[in-house]
Amino acid sequence: MKISSVVHMVEQDGIVQITMEDRQHKNMFSEQLIEGLRESFATIEHLPQCKVVILTGYDNYFASGGTQEGLLAIQDGRSKFTDLNLYSLALNCRVPVISAMQGHGIGGGFVMGLFSDVIILSQESIYNTNFMKYGFTPGFGSTYIVPRKLGFALAQEMLLTAENYRGAELAQRGVPFKVLPRTEVLQYAYKIAESLADKPTESLITLKDHLVASIRSELGPIIQEELQMHEKTFHQEGVRQRIVSLFGQ
């Protein structure tokens, strides 16, 4: 099922695979990718046969975060990261979501994947929370979900430094996720998905609701705090210069 020109969705035996494939923008949050993701997750809500979702990218890209135009719009005060609300798609999905991050997860793209219920990384790929590279404080719920999923010490380092980390390095640092060669990530995701699809749908929904209840209830205030930090940090002239000069490097 083709949801948009850059997002494809297929369903078989209770497993829905959503593939992000915006080759022009390398899976940055383009308008087409945003529209496709939101439509995909909305469609899943009306697929009673769906028991589990696999979210993945193409080749060596999982998701690459905001576009330069999108970041400049926030810097100019024309938008906020909450306008997209991509970060909560997996969290609020009624069934479990597996992020098969076979490729690079950059900034908001990495954070979006962390909101899934099961996370798989690739050894070769780069993952980062690169917000501070451009001089503005992290958003997208990253100040909450990165420490929760990776542990405080590693998350604090990643958020402050905005440096790149290969999946193999994150495995050495003790992240609690499976980190596999890129060619094995999707295969392993299906292994987990098939195990989940064997369970009753209502039981999966009920257990997910219980497991993520604290995240859903605690995230809102954190998002507001991130927006308040953005009011202090995003609109500096130096930030605009960084977005213009450093984007894509």
Dist. CA 138–CA 159, nearest whole Å = 7
Do residues 106 and 64 touch, judged by C-beta distance below 8 A? yes
Q: What one-character DSSP code corresponds to residue 115?
A: T
Catalytic residues: 230
**Can you point out the beta strands (E) in 123-181?**
126-128, 165-166, 178-180
Q: What DSSP state is assigned to residue 212?
A: T
Q: What are phi and psi of 47, to 5 degrees?
A: -110, 90
Structure tokens at 55: 């979210």
Q: What is the DSSP string of 142-157?
A: HHHHHHHHH-HHHHHH
Report the C-alpha gap between 199 and 221 in whole angstroms: 34
Residues 6+ apart with CB under 8 A from 105: 62, 63, 113, 121, 125, 126, 127, 128
Query: Phi and psi at residue 187, in whole multiples of 5°?
Result: -60, -45
Q: Residue type for 137, please?
A: T
